[in-house]
Amino acid sequence: MVRRIPLVRVEGKTYALRPDLTMTPARFAVAASLEREARDQEARDAESEFGFAPSLYFYAGVAHPAFGDVVLVFDPEASVTLPGTASTFDTGGMHLGLIKGKGLDTPEGRRSFVVDDCCDLVDWRQRADAWIGQFASLDSYLRGDRACIDDKTGRLQHSANERRAWCFEVRVYGDRGVFEDLAFAVVRQEFWQLALDESSATPEAKAHLLSLQRSGKVHTCDAVGPDPCVSAPALVAGYVASSGGRA
């Protein structure tokens, strides 16, 4: 049995190639899709270098603020039946040479390491559970702390690296609905109110948003409270605990 670590995607950052696909309150209100076309050029270049299909990117459990402030947390079970791959680090950072470690200082070395580390989605939950076991606790991993032990590259303890060097990345080779398998969302209060306002013209859309709120699937942060990415670790830890820890 493995821990029920959810998939987390952070939205809200605008990318130059497809700014129209940014997850705005208006797109959230109408249950717009999470689309692979929204990814930036760096992600596309990394896919080309490492041999991945166009991907929708998630982290196992982690909400990283570099990608925005709309935190979407998804149940993990359905993902194992989807086409895709996973790695124990951020592949965009690896492509750019931002992850330092033994054997990672050349494009050839990075490609070789990525190939060796990669697994198919059917195995990602077991792999992620074992990976997170190298940290002091689940909470420690979710906060972005370093692992207690290192791997052969030394990247986990390398002083130049931050948590993208050890956040478990999941790549889905397909688009997904924003509410498909959604466990919960963490958004700013202003974003949520704007989404409700945008949905007013469509009664069904507004009813759906209100039902999500009533069922506890929407958590809001006010203007003076913690950022959604700061609030997310405790909520993710609670989600894992509520499933009995392992499922």
Could you tell me if residue 171 is inside a domain?
yes
Residue 74 β-bridge partners: 7, 182
Could you tell me if residue 121 is inside a domain?
yes
How many whole angstroms separate alpha carbon 70 and alpha carbon 72?
Answer: 6
Angle at CA of residue 33, ends 32 and 36, nearest 5°? 140
Could you tell me if residue 215 is inside a domain?
yes
Could you tell me if residue 183 is inside a domain?
yes
Counted domains in the chain: 1
Q: In tens digits, what is the pLDDT along the chain, a chain of 247 residues?
A: 688 999 999 999 999 899 999 999 999 999 999 999 999 999 999 999 999 999 999 999 999 999 999 999 999 998 989 999 999 999 999 999 999 999 999 999 999 999 999 999 999 999 999 999 999 999 999 999 999 999 999 999 999 999 999 999 999 999 999 999 999 999 999 999 999 999 987 889 999 999 999 999 999 998 656 799 999 999 999 999 997 554 4
Instruction: Say if pTM beats, i.e. exceeds, 0.75.
Output: yes
Could you tell me if residue 247 is inside a domain?
no
Domain hosting 218: range is 7-242
Could you tell me if residue 1 is inside a domain?
no
Could you tell me if residue 2 is inside a domain?
no
Could you tell me if residue 23 is inside a domain?
yes
